[in-house]
Structure 1
C-alpha cells in the first residue's frame, strides 16, 4: 500500500483554499502539509518538507502557477486548479497530472487525486530527477551511489551518471532506507552494490568510496543485516 501522499495547496483565494482543504480531509491517503497564498510561500515549504503533490492555482499574483511550477528543479506531481479554461492546454504541456476547472465537485477532485496516487504507486521503486533539462526515471536497483558536490548531487548508475540540483540529505530522503545509507559526508551508497570493504574505503564497481568515521558503525550494522 502506498504511503501517505504529502500535499500542499497554493491558492490566493481563501474560498478556494477552504474548498480544497475540506476535500483533502475526505481523502484518507492525503496529508496536507501547508496552505500557501502564493508561490514564494510554497517555495519555502518545498525546501523543508517532502512534498509529493501540489494543488496549484494558475492565476496568482507576482508569479503564475505555471511559471512557478516550471521553475522547480525536481517538481512534485501537480494538479492545476483555476477558473480559466484557456490555461488547460499549457497546464498539460508541463506534464500536469490533472487540471481542475473551478468550481469542481468532490467527485472530480477525487478522480484527479486517484490518478496522482496511481502515478506515485508506479514510481515507488523509481527515482525521478531533473538533469540535462530532462526528467529522468531511474530504478533504485540501478543506482550504485550518490555523491554530493555542494549544491548538486551526482547520481551514479549502472549505465551513466546524472547531475542534478539537490542537497545530499534531500536525495537520501528519496531513496529506500533499507538499501541506501550515508557512508561519508559526501556519499550515500546502495549496499547491494558493494564489492568489498578495505580499511576506510569500499569498492562499488570500479569506484573507490571513502567511509567516514562517524558512519562506520552504521555501515557495519546494515551489512550484518544483509
Structure 2
C-alpha cells in the first residue's frame, strides 16, 4: 500500500520540486496539492492521509497554525526557508524539518525516518520490532535548543506539573510536555505508566515490591490504580 502524501506550499517551484522527489520514490503517492493552509485544513477534514509536507510562512494562516488546529494529525514534514522555527516545529511533534532548498538526499532521510516510525508502530515480528526500537528517537525542546533522545536510552520519565523530566542512561533533561502525551507516543510494549507521575522502560525493571519498583538504582512509586496493569505486564 502506498504512502498517501499531501503537499502544502504557496510557492509553485517548491511544490514542483517536492512532487518530483515524491515521484522518484516508488511507495509514495501524491493525493493533493494545496497552495495555502486554509485549503489544506478543509481538505484534511474529509480525507485521511499518511504524510503531510508543509510550508510554514503562508498568507492568512501559517503552517504551524495549521498543525495546532488539527485534532487528528498525520505525520508531518515541514519544508521551509526559515531555520528559526525548528524548535517550534519539533515541539509540535513534527517528524522532520527540511530547510529549503531541499536536496534529494535530505528528502530521503526524512522518508527513512517516516518508515522507521512505521516499523516501530507496526512491526509484525519481534525481530523487526527490536531493530526498529534500536534506531527510534524523538526530539525535545530544552532551553531553546532541540535535543535528540533515543528511546532505547530512556530509563524513566517523571511528570513535573506541565513539564516532564526524561532520565536516560547518561543524562536527564526537562522539557515542556505532558506525561499523557509521552504515554501516547511511546511504544506500549516498551514503556509502562506505573503512577500518575511516572512512566518507566519495562526492560530496565530490576525488581519490585508492593509499593515500589526498582529501576537502574532508583526506587519509583507504584500507584494503586496502576498496580493491576503492572502485574499483568510482569506476568504475576
The 1:57–1:136 alpha-carbon spacing in structure 2 relative to 1, beyond 3 Å, is closer
Partner-residue secondary structure (3-state), 1:135: strand
* Unpaired stretches in structure 2, ≥5 consecutive residues: 30-49, 56-60, 117-131
Contact 1:200–1:211 (CA<8 Å) still a contact in 2? yes
Task: Tell me the alpha carbon deviations over residues 203-225 of structure 1, each in whole angstroms, 9 at most, x when there is no partner.
Answer: 21332222223322221121129
Residues 194, 77 of structure 1: alpha-carbon distance in 2 compared, 3 angstrom cutoff: same
| Shift, 1:78, TM fit | 2.0
Total equivalences in the alignment: 190
Equivalent of residue 97 in structure 2, options 70, 78, 87: 78
Task: Within 5 Å, give how 1:149-168 maps onto structure 2.
Answer: 149-168=160-179
Normalising by structure 1, report the TM-score: 0.63
Please, which moves more after superposition, 200-209 or 134-143? 134-143
Q: Distance in 1 between matches of 2:178 and 2:74?
A: 13
Structure-2 residue corresponding to 1:84: none
Residue among 106, 109, 112 paired with 1:118: 112
Q: 1:194 aligns with which of 205, 214, 218?
A: 205
Gap change, CA 1:153 and 1:53, over 3 Å in 2? same
Distance between the aligned counterparts of 1:68 and 1:134, measured in 2? 11
1:32 aligns with 2:51: yes
Q: 1:21 to 1:151 in 2, by over 3 A?
A: farther
Counterpart contact for 2:157–2:167, Cα < 8 Å? yes
C-alpha contact 1:10 1:57 (8 A) present in aligned 2: no
Deviates more, 1:11-20 or 1:161-170: 11-20
- Tell me if the contact between 1:6 and 1:50 (Cα under 8 Å) persists in the aligned partners: no
Deviation at 1:22, TM superposition (A): 10
- Equivalent residues of 1:183, 1:211 under 8 A apart: yes
Unaligned runs of at least 5 residues, structure 1: 59-64, 82-87, 89-98, 101-107
With normalisation by structure 2, the TM-score equals 0.61
Query: Aligned pair in 2 of structure 1 residues 47, 80: CA closer, same or farther (>3 Å)?
Result: farther
Question: Aligned partners of 1:138, 1:181: CA distance in 2, in Å?
Answer: 18
Asked whether the 8 Å contact 2:87–2:146 carries over to 1, the reply is no
The equivalent residue for 1:92 is: none
Shift of 1:175: 2.5
Pick one of 65, 77, 84 that aligns with 1:53. Answer: 77
| Residue 192 of structure 2 is aligned to residue 181 of structure 1 | yes
